[in-house]
Chain A
Amino acid sequence: MHAYANPARFLKIARPLTPICLVVGILLILIGSYAGLALTPPDYLQGDSVRILYIHVPAAWLGMGGWTGIAIASIVQLVWRHPLAGVAARAIAVPGALFTAICLVTGSIWGRPTWGTWWEWDGRMTSMLVLLFLYFGYIGLANASDDRTSVSRATAIFGIVGAVNIPIINRSVVWWNSLHQGPSITLRGSTISSEILWPLAPTVIGFSLFFGGIVLMRMRANLAQAKVEARMRRLAAA
């Protein structure tokens, strides 16, 4: 891990990895979306509205995965003082918040025809909304310090504390008997018919790669910005 503490070495890998992630990710998203819209049969109960699944599930996965990434990066930052951990956490925050918002919006649009309501205060939705507010608080705290490349140690502590919400979101449909369905895809298999399920794999992997590409891009932009500022300071001093 500490081999990549040197930003130059990290950039050497990140530079070719960014377009690979973005291109492969967008291709997979397009394949999965086309298959989800055109090739799969409509659900026997929900009809065509089931097709929002292919966006809703990757968005939920990335919203929660984003905060998990922030929490891991925060631990790495606080324990090992890894210089790139804070850069990564700062880069994850905004796309993570965006995907959480997409998850809430698509869920709301899906809920209107299937449940007959835009919003219901059940455990899953409430804890996901809390996650969005935690992201807002995290971004606010990260932007409040002078450091624009990495995040302050206080922000990292908040990233770890906020992670208590992640297992709550994951377990919410089991703990509370709620309007949101229980877990459909578990380690023991899936309760969704494989005819409808299969385009989910390319969209989940595609959106994850796309997310990774955006995070790498933001990390590189922030590192470049720091480099420019350091050079300007040197020029001003000379």
Chain B
Amino acid sequence: MKAFLAILRRDLRLSLGSGGIGLPVVFFLLVATLYPFAVGPDGALLARTGGGVLWVAALLAALLPVDRLIAPDAEAGVLDQYAVRGMGEEMISAAKITAHWIGFGPPLMLAALPASAMLRLDVETLAAVELGLLCGTPGLAALGVMVASLTAGLRRGGALAGLLMLPLAIPLIIFGAGSIGDFGGGAVRFLAASSLFLVAVAPFAAGAGIRALRE
């Protein structure tokens, strides 16, 4: 538990220092700004489709930090140091997922507030998007760390990460966007279930990925 908290603190401090938290948020807001330019500033159209656009923006924003989640630590030998200390790779992955979510989920939920104003969303849609992001971003964070561990040893890992991550994120966007229509209904439970499944599986897959990096 002490090691878990130490990794959590270190990763959070690093992502705060390197601007790793700001980048996805700014990207998210930029996509929300581009969309009205693309379809025209028609209030009714924006209000009807805006919630889904925010989900697409969240998925794309989740791709941005992937190449700095595992690869820098692997290159600098930090992961080898953890292994020498006898820390389990699964525990390291769980700590990294937690740290990544803290730096990714809540800031995105905050950024959804101004974005919803730009897209003219009403209060119910905004509440559904916020609830959906609260349920869905842990799954996105878990997926990000998992894909990061699989692509960390590659030269062009960043380009490949999207191809690996987006198909696996499809359940999240289907149920996330589906939950906008009926607040608190079945879709948001499916969203929470798929997110929980990813959070439960990812530490083991990412742990195996980190071990594979050493070969």
* Residues on A facing B (Cβ under 8 Å): 78, 126, 130, 133-134, 136-137, 140-141, 144-145, 152-155, 157-158, 160-162, 164
Contacts and interface: CB of A to CB of B under 8 A. Distances in A.
Given A78-B208, A144-B154, A137 B215 contact: no
Given A126-B170, A154-B153, A161-B205, A133 B163 contact: yes
B146 interface: yes
Interface string B167-185: 1101000100000000000
A140 B150 contact: no
B160 interface: yes
A86 to B, nearest CB: 12
Interface string B50-89: 0000000000000000000000000000000000000000
A157 B150 contact: yes
Interface of B: 146, 149-151, 153-157, 160, 163-164, 166-168, 170, 174, 201, 205, 208-209, 211-213, 215
Given A141-B150, A157-B150, A130 B167 contact: yes
B201 to A, nearest CB: 7
Contacts of B208: 78, 153, 157
Given A144-B154, A153-B215, 18 more contacts: A78-B208, A130-B167, A133-B167, A137-B160, A140-B160, A140-B164, A144-B160, A154-B209, A154-B213, A155-B150, A157-B205, A158-B150, A158-B164, A161-B146, A161-B168, A161-B205, A162-B168, A164-B201
Give the interface SS of chain A, mostly helix, strand, loop or mixed: helix
Which of the listed residues B156, B167, B201 has the most CB atoms from chain A within 10 Å of its own CB? B167
Given A126-B170, A130-B170, A141-B150, A152 B212 contact: yes
B104 to A, nearest CB: 20
Nearest to B206: A157
Nearest to A78: B208
B163 A137 contact: yes
Contacts of A164: 201
Contacts of A141: 150-151, 154, 160, 164
A141 B150 CA distance: 9
Contacts of A154: 149-151, 153, 209, 212-213
18 contacts: A133-B167, A137-B160, A137-B163, A137-B164, A137-B167, A140-B164, A141-B160, A145-B153, A154-B149, A154-B209, A154-B213, A157-B150, A157-B205, A157-B208, A157-B209, A158-B164, A161-B201, A162-B167
B160 A153 contact: no
Contacts of B163: 133, 136-137, 140
Please provide the 10 A-B residue pairs with the shortest distance between their CB atoms, ordered closest to farther. Answer: A153-B212, A133-B167, A154-B150, A137-B163, A137-B164, A144-B154, A130-B167, A134-B167, A157-B208, A154-B212
A158 B149 CA distance: 11
A85 to B, nearest CB: 14
Nearest to B159: A140
Nearest to A168: B171
A157 B160 contact: no
Contacts of A153: 208, 211-212, 215
A164 B146 CA distance: 15
A144 to B, nearest CB: 5
Contact of B166 (A78, A133, A140): A133
Most buried by B among A78, A141, A154, A161: A154
A160 B146 CA distance: 13
Contacts of A144: 151, 154-157, 160
A134 B163 CA distance: 8
B154 A145 contact: yes
B27 to A, nearest CB: 22
A161 B200 CA distance: 12
A80 to B, nearest CB: 15
A158 B213 CA distance: 14
Nearest to B157: A144
Contacts of A162: 167-168
Nearest to B167: A133
A160 B201 CA distance: 11
A51 B87 CA distance: 59
A89 B167 CA distance: 20
